[in-house]
Structure formats: structure tokens, C-alpha cells
Amino acid sequence: MSGKRVATDAEFIEVWQTAGSVNKFCEILGLDRRNALRRRRNLEMKYKIKLPTQDTRYEHLQTAHRHKGRYEAGIENGTVIVFSDAHFWPGIRSTAFKGLLWAINELKPKAIINNGDAFDGAAISRFPRIGWDSKPSVIQELHACEACLGEIEEAAEKAYKNCKLIWPLGNHDARFENRLAQNASEFEGVAGFHLKDHFPAWIPCWSTWLTDHVVVKHRYKGGIHATHNNTVGSGKTIVTGHLHSLKVTPYSDYNGTRYGVDTGTLADTDGPQFVDYLEDSPTNWRSGFVVLTFKDGQLLYPEIVQKFSEGQVQFRGQVIDVGHL
């Protein structure tokens, strides 16, 4: 079969069942990974079948219903990039998002963690509409997430072949399933009714343990001193999002030094996701993400990549142009 011809459903299913891995399947049919996984999901729904994979990168899909809330990544050496609160919106690619693509290419991380709230759920919020504001529909948001997360997946694949893609659920992400569970509970178990069904490349969880001492989850304690209180209260280095503050707070005691880290927001802080409910008020928010580097199982001082100006980010004392990405 030529890669230039679109395989029939029967051919797709036959090759998937015999190829042995996603990479081999894509090589045979001349498809990229993202489109192959999307069509596989559609065929499972269309024919009410299961098309499991032996590719270890996607083995979590076969046991997703048995997932514990904690995913243990086991990072001993190398770099991990953590972003959060992207609130992906149709047609918008923020400066921090472009900076993330640049960092993935430059740093070649062993794992990329989408630390919650990639999906905003504006149309299904429990809060009432503000005036006559216009919000994207659920399907428009899903397409925006697919587009942006797809770019991240492709960048990760090029940068580091076995890069882990991990997604601790955020409170905005939870809106998707919460609305369905509350209003259409009869459809429990139907494909597509879980947010993770739409993003098969990402490992879903509530928290990611990079080591026994470093935890990544969307939120823990709140307030202006959350990063301090998080690490004091947990006894761990704890990396959270939710508050959009983008900062690192060290804390030392008899056990040594650990860190409370806030990963900021990947969105622009004055973006349409926020403008109406903020009422043009100032915010103690910053747009960017965090880089974690491990040496023999020990975390080095966490580093911040922050938006400097439109099309530019700052990192390690330099201003990097990312507007072309």
C-alpha cells in the first residue's frame, strides 16, 4: 500500500492489528502519529471495537480506567518542562506557547507536563454569562487544544524520541466530564465522554511524582503564599499551577532545601479568556513556564521561562525571539 493513498477502514484496522507499534504502523501507511491516533479513535467509535497498541509510550491507554491518581515518572537525570493554565483558545498562539516550542527543541526534555487547565470550558462554566460576552463552544475549544497540544507532541517527538507527555487534571479540565456526569450520566463509559479520550498521547493523572521528593499537580494550597505553604505542608518540592503567579520559593530546614514552584500561565495574561471577568483589573500573574533539571535524582534550582515582550521570552539572562515559531 502506498503512503500517498488513503487506506480504507479495513486496511487501517488490519495494519494496526499486525504492525506491533505505532511507529511501525505510521511507517507502513505513511502517516504521522497524530493523524494515525485520531483516525484510530474514530474507527473505535465507529465500529465499537478496541485497537490496542504495543507501543510502550501509549500503553497507558489500555488501562486508563484502572489508573491510580498518581503517575510515577522516575526521572533520575535530564530535563522536565512543566507548563500549566494554557486555557487554549481558538486562533491564539501565545508568546509563552511559542517559547515552549523553542524550549522543547533546545532542551530536549525527557518529560513534558501539562499541569492542568489546558481546556478552559468557558461555555460550560458554573458561573453565569458576563453581559453579552462571546465564548467558544466545547468543540471549538477541543479543536484549539488538539491543534496546540498536537504542535507540542510533534516538537517532543523530534526533540527526544521517548519523551513522556503527562497531564495532571486541572479544575477547568474537569468541567468537561463534570458537566456530562451531572447531566448525561446514562452515557457513562461511552467513548469521547472523557477528556482523555480526545488526547491519547497524554498520560492522565491527578499528580506526577518525578522522584520520591518532587511532586507535580495542578493545585494544592491557595493564596499569595501558596508556594511556601505547599512545600512546608507537603514536605516535598511541589510544583503547581492554578494561581498563574510563575515563581520559585525555596524552603530550607533540617531535611535540606526544597521548593514551592508556581508554573504561571501559558496564556497571555490579558487574553480573551480572562478579560471580562477580570474587569480590566491588574493581576499578579505572569506568562511562562518552568524548567526542572535533575542530576542523579536530585533537583537543581528550578528555572523560569517568562514572556519578556510580544514574541520574546527571557531565560537564563537572555532574551530569545520566538515570534517566528
Look at residue 318 and give its three-state secondary structure.
strand
How far is Cα 50 from Cα 245, in angstroms, rounded to an integer? 42
Sheet-wide strand order for 70-72: 70-72, 207-211, 214-217, 237-240, 256-262, 247-253
How far is Cα 281 from Cα 266, in angstroms, rounded to an integer? 19
pTM of the model: 0.81
How far is Cα 259 from Cα 202, in angstroms, rounded to an integer? 26
The 10s digit of each residue's pLDDT in 279-296 is 888 999 999 999 999 999
Compute φ and ψ for 73, nearest 5 degrees.
-85, -30
Cβ atoms of 258 and 251 within 8 Å: the answer is: yes
First-to-last C-alpha distance (Å) of the chain:
35
Query: How many residues would you count in the chain?
Result: 325
Determine the pLDDT at residue 27.
83
Cβ atoms of 142 and 198 within 8 Å: the answer is: yes
Helices marked H in the chain: 9-19, 22-29, 33-47, 95-107, 138-159, 174-183, 226-234, 275-278
Burial track 231-243 (b if 16+ CB lie within 10 A, e otherwise) = bbeeebbbbbbbb
Q: pLDDT by residue for the chain (325 residues), tens digit each?
A: 444 678 888 888 888 888 877 778 888 888 887 778 778 878 877 887 878 765 545 544 444 334 458 999 999 999 999 999 999 999 999 999 999 999 999 999 999 999 999 999 888 877 777 777 788 899 999 999 999 999 999 999 999 988 999 999 999 998 888 888 888 888 888 888 889 889 999 999 999 999 999 999 999 999 999 999 999 999 999 999 999 999 999 999 999 999 999 999 999 999 998 988 888 889 999 999 999 999 999 999 999 999 999 999 999 999 999 999 9
